[in-house]
Homo-oligomer: A and B are copies of this chain.
Amino acid sequence: MVERLVVTTGRQGLFEFTDQIQALVKHSGLEQGLCTLCIQHTSASLIIQENADPSARVDLENWLNRLVPEHDPLYTHTMEGADDMPAHIKSMLTASSLSIPVIDQQLALGVWQGVYCWEHRHSSKQRTIIVHLGP
């Protein structure tokens, strides 16, 4: 089964959508199998991270922004805005696809794990994530 999820991002940062994926899994009736996500963009990416303490996410964002700053004189691809080339680099350093096994109709995530769409642009976007579910 292949489905399409849309995550609306409000700004640059991490947006959890574990519940949306879990709802798809539940709705599919899949008891055991594999859930695979693939994002259809190269200026946003996917990541599994801690969803307990929000300070961990703040630090992830600040650390990556420091490693990949805007206005780096190295960039030649600047036509689409100062945040575009950093967004491609951040997407390269994180994930475009992720796979999570399903056990008893539940994503087999650890206790503190959440699935996030990482928006690397400043403006709000509609990000499409294709979800494959198989036994």
Question: With the chains together, A55 CA to B48 CA distance in Å?
Answer: 30
Q: How many copies does the complex hold?
A: 3
A88 touches B60 (CB 8 A): yes
Question: With the chains together, A75 CA to B59 CA distance in Å?
Answer: 6
Which B residues are CB-close (under 8 A) to A100? Answer: 38, 97, 130
A95: interface (CB < 8 Å): yes
A105: interface (CB < 8 Å): no
A74 touches B85 (CB 8 A): no
A101 touches B50 (CB 8 A): no
Instruction: Supply 19 A–B pairs (Cβ within 8 Å), ascending by A.
Output: A1-B32, A2-B33, A2-B102, A33-B134, A38-B100, A38-B101, A40-B108, A40-B111, A42-B110, A42-B112, A48-B96, A50-B88, A56-B85, A59-B75, A59-B76, A59-B77, A63-B89, A99-B132, A110-B128
Residues of A within 8 A of B (CB): 1-2, 32-34, 36, 38-42, 47-50, 53, 55-56, 58-60, 62-64, 66, 68, 72, 74-77, 79, 85, 88-89, 91-103, 108-113, 128, 130-132, 134-135
